């Protein structure tokens, strides 16, 4: 049983069909909605719009989730820190969305995860405990069944049983509460595929070069460039929605004028450490002088971060510097009994938060401003949304489409609270069938859990690949956490165009293995080349591009400052560079 449809397959062919559909639009027969930006917000918008019955397309200049939405802390959470600001409505909104994802929309992708909040002094327990109790109460007000256990108090002894690697004198006790974790890039991909299954047109590696206007000055489409072929063409649309995150102002500028939202980029980095290096069954949340530091249990490893520093360099390739890595290690080691070192780190990743500035530029019509996100219209026909966070992507999408449609929204309300993502429908039944797969292919329990988490009820599509070719049921050598079938599935069903798409966004091999996946690269390239019909020259170029990228990222992480790291990182060129 699976919730998939033939239209949910993303491939070079489906991309070509989507581009052809956009080329076929005219001023008399436009799209209803064109979405610019393939991060979580854009992916949420395209799903919201198409499920309202609107003819919708989404374009992304690089790969899906290639920006901020593949480089987050991978948390689906209510925002405990907002309780300190007494922003109860915002926390309630985020907790409602968290539980909706866990219970209905994406129970395979989003998983409950416990966190310990260490108490430095005994007098902290009453008021921190009251705050976390309020967090639980606000979660209980969400519709439907409660998705998470209630919080628990622990003494120092109980805390050390839960997290043996926490230094004895680091805290007098702790409070355990629950939030959610998600593979952010996988969530984006699944949103896009779900939208495609309802008829949305989706084209990555397609850059907006210009926004077109009617004689009356209304934005009515865009000039697009296919970065794979170099072809330029015009798409016509009744409404254009910009959801480009840290690129918001650059995209706004294409409409001309001075209106719009102002967004600043802030860099956050994470380090990845093997799971057996730190002993604990919960995550940790720690306050630092600059940000919140999370120690997050994730599959076979821990993700530790983040930082919060202004980013003044180019926006596409932020990297973790040596100073960033030292900062995270230092603050983690402040509470760890057995300090981690550089040698323990198997990977790093860096992303840019789009920090929405409070002022809205003159001449902008603003519809909704919250502490987290703002929807505005700098020019008629052109809607911009910025700010927000991964957890509330669905609310942001609904707000953006409502604003773009205006009065028309009343007759076409959002239905995404009732649209499960691909892999969610039939999940319980598929779980009951996995024992047979385990026995047939010799998969471990951990491997089956990994597959269910990534594909949900679509695990039967992985099984079908393995039934057709039993060698696909084997792990990838050098990246044994993944099956060969998963690589084949990525390149045939999940819209892969380049080798880096597999290692960075369909899997996380780039930072899950200490060599950035180089030892598995030839095997992965063989599977991709066979499925996509690459000739020897194309395969060679793809291999060189990824190796150059991996080397540049490794070298950049040895630099002390952003400017120097950027200079080193940009020595590796892109196969389809943005203009």
- pLDDT tens-digit map of 209-221: 999 999 999 999 9
Q: Can you tell me the distance from the alpha carbon of 120 to that of 570, in angstroms, rounded to the nearest whole number?
A: 43
Beta strands 111-119 and 283-287, pairing class? parallel
How many residues would you count in the chain? 579
Token pair listed for 114: 């416990």
DSSP 471-499: GGGSEETTEEEEEHHHHHHHHHHB---SH
Query: Pick from 157, 149, 154: which is nearest to 177 by CA?
Result: 149
- pLDDT tens-digit map of 102-156: 999 999 999 999 999 999 999 999 999 999 999 999 999 988 888 899 999 999 9
Query: Pick from 178, 234, 230, 176: which is nearest to 210 by CA?
Result: 234
Interacting residues of 502 by C-beta distance below 8 A, sequence separation 6+: 487, 490, 491, 496, 509, 524, 528
Q: Residue 241: phi, psi to the nearest 5?
A: -120, 125
Q: Can you tell me the distance from the alpha carbon of 323 to that of 557, in angstroms, rounded to the nearest whole number?
A: 9
Strand partners, 267: 309, 352
Q: How many CB atoms lie within 10 A of CB 575?
A: 17
Q: How many CB atoms lie within 10 A of CB 13?
A: 9
Q: Can you tell me the distance from the alpha carbon of 347 to that of 101, in angstroms, rounded to the nearest whole number?
A: 28
409-433: b (≥16 Cβ within 10 Å) or e: eeebebebeebbbbbbbbbeebbee
Query: Pick from 307, 313, 282: which is nearest to 295 by CA?
Result: 282
Strand partners, 92: none
CB 286 within 8 Å of CB 524:
no
pLDDT for the residue numbered 368: 44
pLDDT for the residue numbered 400: 97
Tokens 């690697």, located at residue: 165
pLDDT for the residue numbered 499: 98
pLDDT < 50 stretches in the chain:
1-3, 366-369
What is the H or E stretch that residue 395 is in? helix 393-405
**CA count, 13 A, side-chain hemisphere, 189:** 27
pLDDT for the residue numbered 361: 63
Token pair listed for 280: 């604990």
CA angle 489, 97, 293 (to 5 degrees): 85
Q: Can you tell me the distance from the alpha carbon of 262 to that of 355, in angstroms, rounded to the nearest whole number?
A: 8
**CA count, 13 A, side-chain hemisphere, 246:** 22
pLDDT for the residue numbered 366: 46
Q: How many CB atoms lie within 10 A of CB 392?
A: 27
CB 220 within 8 Å of CB 237:
yes
**CA count, 13 A, side-chain hemisphere, 23:** 13
Token pair listed for 408: 């028309």
Q: Can you tell me the distance from the alpha carbon of 56 to that of 405, in angstroms, rounded to the nearest whole number?
A: 13
Q: Residue 525: phi, psi to the nearest 5?
A: -65, -40
Q: Can you tell me the distance from the alpha carbon of 34 to that of 235, in angstroms, rounded to the nearest whole number?
A: 9
The DSSP call for residue 503 is I
Query: Pick from 41, 3, 2, 38: which is nearest to 18 by CA?
Result: 38
Token pair listed for 17: 């069909």
Which stretches does DSSP call E strand in 161-282? Answer: 173-181, 201-203, 206-213, 219-226, 232-242, 261-274
**CA count, 13 A, side-chain hemisphere, 158:** 12
Which stretches does DSSP call E strand in 363-458? Answer: 365-369, 373-379, 382-387
The DSSP call for residue 99 is H
Beta strands 31-36 and 232-242, pairing class? parallel
DSSP 190-220: HHHHHHHHTT-EEESSEEEEEEEE-TTS-EE
CB 342 within 8 Å of CB 329:
yes
pLDDT for the residue numbered 418: 97
CA angle 39, 40, 44 (to 5 degrees): 120
Query: Pick from 217, 254, 194: which is nearest to 61 by CA?
Result: 254
DSSP 108-149: TT-EEEEEEEEESSTTHHHHHHHHHHHHHHHHHTSSSS--SP
The DSSP call for residue 277 is G
């Amino acid at each position: 049983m699976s919730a998939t449809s033939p239209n949910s397959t993303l491939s070079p062919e489906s991309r070509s069909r989507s581009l052809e559909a956009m080329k076929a639009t005219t001023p008399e027969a436009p799209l209803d909605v064109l979405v610019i930006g393939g991060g979580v917000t854009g992916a949420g918008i395209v799903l919201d719009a198409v499920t309202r019955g609107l003819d919708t397309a989404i374009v992304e200049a690089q790969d899906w989730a290639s920006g901020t939405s593949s480089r987050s802390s991978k948390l689906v959470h209510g925002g405990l820190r907002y309780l300190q600001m007494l922003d109860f409505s915002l926390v309630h909104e985020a907790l409602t969305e968290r539980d909706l994802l866990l219970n209905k929309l994406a129970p395979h992708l989003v998983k409950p995860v416990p966190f310990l909040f260490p108490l430095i002094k005994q007098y902290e327990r009453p008021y921190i405990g009251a705050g976390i109790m309020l967090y639980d109460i606000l979660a209980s007000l969400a519709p439907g069944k409660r998705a998470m256990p209630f919080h628990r108090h622990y003494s120092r002894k109980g805390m050390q049983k839960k997290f043996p690697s926490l230094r004895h004198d680091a805290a007098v006790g702790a409070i355990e509460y629950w939030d959610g974790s998600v593979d952010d890039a996988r969530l984006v991909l699944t949103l896009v595929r779900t939208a495609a299954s309802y008829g949305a047109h989706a084209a990555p590696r397609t850059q907006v070069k210009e926004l077109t206007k009617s004689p009356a000055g209304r934005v009515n489409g865009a000039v697009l460039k296919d970065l794979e072929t170099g072809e330029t063409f015009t798409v016509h649309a009744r409404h254009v929605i910009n959801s480009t995150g840290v690129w918001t102002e650059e995209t706004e500028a294409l409409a001309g004028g001075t209106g719009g939202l102002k967004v600043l980029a802030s860099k956050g980095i994470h380090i990845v450490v093997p799971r057996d290096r730190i002993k604990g069954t919960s995550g940790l949340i720690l306050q630092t002088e600059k940000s919140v530091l999370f120690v997050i249990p994730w599959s076979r490893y821990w993700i530790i971060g983040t930082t919060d520093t202004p980013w003044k360099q180019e926006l596409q390739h932020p990297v973790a510097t040596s100073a960033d890595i030292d900062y995270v290690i230092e603050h983690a080691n402040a509470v760890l009994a057995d300090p981690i070192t550089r040698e323990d780190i198997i990977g790093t990743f860096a992303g840019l938060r789009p920090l929405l500035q409070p002022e809205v530029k003159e001449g902008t019509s603003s519809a909704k401003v919250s502490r987290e996100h703002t929807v505005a219209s700098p020019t008629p026909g052109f809607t911009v949304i910025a700010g927000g966070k991964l957890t509330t992507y669905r609310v942001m999408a609904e707000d953006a489409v409502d604003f773009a449609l205006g009065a028309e929204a009343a007759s076409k309300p959002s239905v995404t609270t009732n649209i499960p993502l691909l892999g969610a429908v039939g999940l319980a039944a598929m779980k009951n069938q996995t024992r047979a797969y385990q026995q047939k292919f010799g998969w471990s329990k951990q491997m089956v859990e990994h597959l269910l988490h990534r594909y949900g009820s679509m695990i039967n599509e992985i099984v079908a690949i393995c039934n057709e070719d039993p060698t696909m049921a084997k792990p990838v050598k050098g990246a044994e956490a993944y099956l060969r079938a998963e690589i084949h599935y990525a390149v045939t069903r999940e819209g892969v165009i380049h080798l880096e798409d597999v290692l960075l966004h369909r899997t996380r091999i780039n930072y899950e293995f200490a060599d950035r996946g180089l030892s598995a690269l030839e095997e992965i390239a063989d599977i991709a080349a066979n499925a996509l019909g690459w000739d020897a020259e194309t395969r060679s170029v793809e291999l060189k591009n990824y190796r150059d990228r991996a080397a540049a990222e490794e070298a950049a992480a040895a630099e002390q400052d952003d400017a120097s790291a950027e200079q080193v990182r940009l020595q590796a060129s892109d196969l389809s560079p943005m203009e």
